[in-house]
């Protein structure tokens, strides 16, 4: 854990508030106060991305990762690949865990430590790998039914340079996804995601692991329907509940932080997923706690993995049911309105000014607005 002084801690906390506002609006109490605080800060601080905002070392460096990769590689279920290189030529390593034959099966993808200071995210990824190579029945079930990928250290240059949030080019990789010239690390992950989606075993859950100093909580950035779809928000709520079910009291409910209230955040990895794969992939940022007593990485990692597996098990069936439900609702509403319209056309009493019934054929007095049919998922 970084050893923040009181001032640094409060600055970091303000930055974290600003970052949430920037992610698309906060729907928590005192949102306006947060916004005002954020606006009162210099623009660069609001970015939360100062090249020199360093309190290194963050702990767990690149050489620690190389040593752990050697250890993990010894498991028969693990494959380690370098999927690309950082700007300064360090490997971006991916740990893949699965078991059994090469039958197609859904993938779960987790990448961590885009922001080097958020070392708790790496601890969660590390605990996830160690859980999955273990001999427990739960780990075995996930290995046999899924292909699980981890990139524990997505920004190795930033880690080694002691930057809090940036890569070697002083760019925040987290918000570089929609830029005309993307950073090499972003290019690596984007093409990897795309190639995995074009296999018989596409990614179904993609988690972007961070840690955030906000009351020492664990939570997901929920994407509102303003930036996604109602169907997607239904799926998100189910996903968060599935994860919470494996760590009761450990993870905040879905409405803790809402983002994308007006539009999707296309600068983030989740914006890229949404643009390209919509409801097909549950892509969310998870924020672990970032505070002196941050802990329980094992419980967190297990909840993320077991919850993802539960969610995937509902899979196509759940998605299909959700679509069918919306379609049925629409058909029912349409039938009711049409029958009312028919009844009114046949029976509508029309009164003249003197109160006596006049004509039945003055044309429709009421215009019916039918709901739009559900969009194709
Ligand atoms: Zn972060």
pLDDT tens readout for residues 108-134: 999 999 999 999 999 999 999 999 999
The values of phi and psi at residue 52, to 5°, are: -100, 15
* Parallel, antiparallel or unpaired: strands 91-97 and 78-85: antiparallel
pLDDT of residue 273: 97
Ramachandran angles phi, psi of 68, nearest 5°: -65, -35
157 and 214 assigned to the same domain: yes
Q: Looking at the domain assignment, is residue 160 inside a domain?
A: yes
Q: Give the Å distance between the CA of 165 and the centre of ligand 1.
A: 7
In this predicted model, what pLDDT tens digit does every residue of 40-83 receive, in sequence order?
333 323 223 333 444 467 899 999 999 999 999 999 999 999 99
Give the domain extent around 41: 6-46
Query: Does residue 15 have a pLDDT over 90?
Result: no
Task: Examine residue 129 and state whether it is found in any structural domain, yes or no.
Answer: yes
Whether residue 152 lies inside any domain: the answer is yes
Claim to verify: residue 37 and residue 145 sit in the same structural domain: no
Task: For residue 210, report the distance from its CA to the centre of ligand 1, in Å.
Answer: 4
132 near 143, Cβ under 8 Å? yes
Same domain (yes/no): 26, 66: no
Considering the domain architecture, whether residues 145 and 11 belong to the same structural domain is answered as no
pLDDT higher than 60, residue 29: no
Question: Average of pLDDT values for 314-325?
Answer: 60
Q: Indicate if the pLDDT at residue 85 is higher than 90.
A: yes
Distance 135 CA to ligand 1 centre (A): 32
The pLDDT > 70 percentage for the chain reads 69
Q: Is the dihedral of CA 67, 70, 76, 78 positive or negative?
A: positive
Whether residues 304 and 270 share a domain: the answer is yes
- The answer to whether residue 372 sits within a structural domain is no
Q: How far is the CA of 213 from the centre of ligand 1 (A)?
A: 10
CA of 139 to the centre of ligand 1 (A): 28
Does residue 29 fall inside a structural domain? yes
Interval between CA 311 and ligand 1 midpoint (Å)? 25
For residues 139 and 28, membership in a common domain is answered with no
Position 335 in a domain: no
Same domain, 88 and 20: no
Asked if pLDDT for residue 373 goes beyond 60, the answer is: no
Q: Are residues 284 and 242 in the same domain?
A: yes
What distance in angstroms lies between residue 277's CA and the mean position of ligand 1's atoms?
Answer: 23
Give the pLDDT confidence score for residue 119 in this predicted structure.
95
Within-domain flag for 334: no
| In contact, 183 and 85? CB cutoff 8 Å | no
Q: Distance, CA 284 to ligand 1 centroid (Å)?
A: 13
**Measured between alpha carbons, how far is 356 from 344 in angstroms, rounded to an integer?**
18
Chain segment 225-261, per-residue pLDDT in tens: 999 999 899 999 999 999 999 999 999 999 999 999 9
CATH number at residue 252: 3.40.630.10
Residues with CB under 5 A from ligand 1 (ion): 115, 118, 210
Lowest mean pLDDT among 6-15, 164-173, 271-280: 6-15
Distance 40 CA to ligand 1 centre (A): 22
Cα(343) to centroid(ligand 1), Å: 59
CA 121 to centroid of ligand 1, rounded, Å: 9
Two structure tokens written together for 317: 């069936």
Of all residues in the chain, the percent with pLDDT exceeding 90 is: 64
Instruction: Say how many Å lie between the CA of residue 79 and the centre of ligand 1.
Output: 27
pTM over 0.85: no
Task: Confirm whether 53 is domain-assigned.
Answer: no
Residue closest to 270 by CA, chosen among 260, 281, 282, 283: 283
CA of 318 to the centre of ligand 1 (A): 31
What confidence tens digit (pLDDT) does each residue in 352-372 have?
A: 444 444 444 433 333 333 444
Tokens 């009312």 sit on residue: 340
Residue 211 Cα, ligand 1 centroid: separation in angstroms?
A: 6
- The Å distance, Cα 74 to ligand 1 centre, comes to 31
Q: Are residues 107 and 157 in the same domain?
A: yes
Residues 13 and 74 in one domain: no
Mean of all residue pLDDT scores within the chain: 80
Tell me, in angstroms, the distance from the centre of ligand 1 to residue 279's CA: 24
Clarify whether residues 111 and 228 are in a common domain. Answer: yes
User: Higher model confidence: residue 188 or residue 325?
Assistant: 188
pLDDT digits (tens, 9 = 90+) for 2-13: 333 333 333 334
> What does 129-184 look like in DSSP terms, one character per residue?
HHHHTS--HHHHHHHHH-EEEEES-S-HHHHHHT-SS--TTS--GGG-TTSSS--H
Give yes or no: residues 110 and 233 share one domain: yes
What's the rounded Cα separation, in Å, for the pair 185 and 176?
Answer: 10
What is 67-86 written as a DSSP string? HHHHHHHTSTTEEEEEEEE-
Exposure string over 288-297, b if 16+ CB within 10 A, otherwise e? bbbbeebebb
Q: d(Cα 149, Cα 197) in Å, to the nearest integer?
A: 13
Number of domains within the chain: 2
């Amino acid at each position: 854990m970084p050893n923040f002084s009181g001032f640094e801690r409060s600055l970091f906390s303000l930055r974290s508030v600003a970052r949430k506002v920037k992610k698309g609006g906060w729907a928590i109490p005192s949102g306006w106060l947060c916004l005002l605080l954020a606006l009162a800060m210099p623009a660069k601080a609001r970015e939360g991305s100062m090249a020199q905002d360093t309190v290194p070392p963050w702990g767990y460096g690149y050489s620690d990762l190389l040593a752990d990769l050697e250890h993990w590689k010894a498991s028969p279920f693990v494959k380690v690949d370098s999927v690309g290189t950082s700007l300064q030529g360090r490997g971006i390593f991916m740990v893949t865990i699965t078991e059994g034959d090469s039958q197609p099966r859904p993938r779960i993808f987790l990448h961590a430590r885009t922001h080097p200071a958020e070392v708790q995210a790496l601890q969660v990824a590390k605990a996830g790998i160690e859980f999955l190579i273990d001999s427990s029945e739960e780990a075995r079930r996930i290995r046999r039914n899924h292909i699980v990928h981890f990139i524990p250290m997505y920004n190795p240059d930033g880690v080694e340079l002691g930057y809090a949030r940036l890569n070697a080019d002083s760019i925040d990789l987290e918000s570089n996804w929609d830029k005309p010239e993307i950073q090499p690390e972003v290019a690596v992950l984007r093409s990897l995601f795309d190639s995995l989606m074009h296999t018989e075993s596409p990614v179904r859950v993609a988690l972007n692991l961070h840690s955030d100093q906000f009351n020492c909580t664990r939570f997901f950035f929920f994407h509102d329907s303003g930036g996604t779809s109602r169907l997607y928000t239904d799926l998100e709520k189910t996903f968060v509940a599935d994860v919470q079910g494996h760590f009761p009291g450990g993870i905040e409910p879905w409405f803790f932080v809402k983002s994308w209230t007006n539009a999707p955040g296309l600068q983030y990895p989740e914006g890229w997923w949404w643009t390209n794969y919509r409801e097909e992939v549950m892509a969310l940022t998870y924020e672990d706690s970032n505070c002196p007593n941050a802990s329980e990485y094992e419980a967190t990692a297990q909840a993320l993995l077991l919850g993802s597996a539960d969610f995937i098990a509902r899979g196509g069936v759940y998605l299909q049911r959700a679509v069918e439900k919306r379609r049925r609702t629409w058909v029912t509403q349409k039938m009711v309105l049409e029958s009312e319209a028919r009844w009114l056309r046949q029976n509508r009493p029309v009164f003249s000014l003197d109160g006596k019934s006049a004509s039945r054929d003055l044309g429709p007095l009421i215009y019916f607005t039918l709901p739009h049919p559900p969009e194709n998922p």
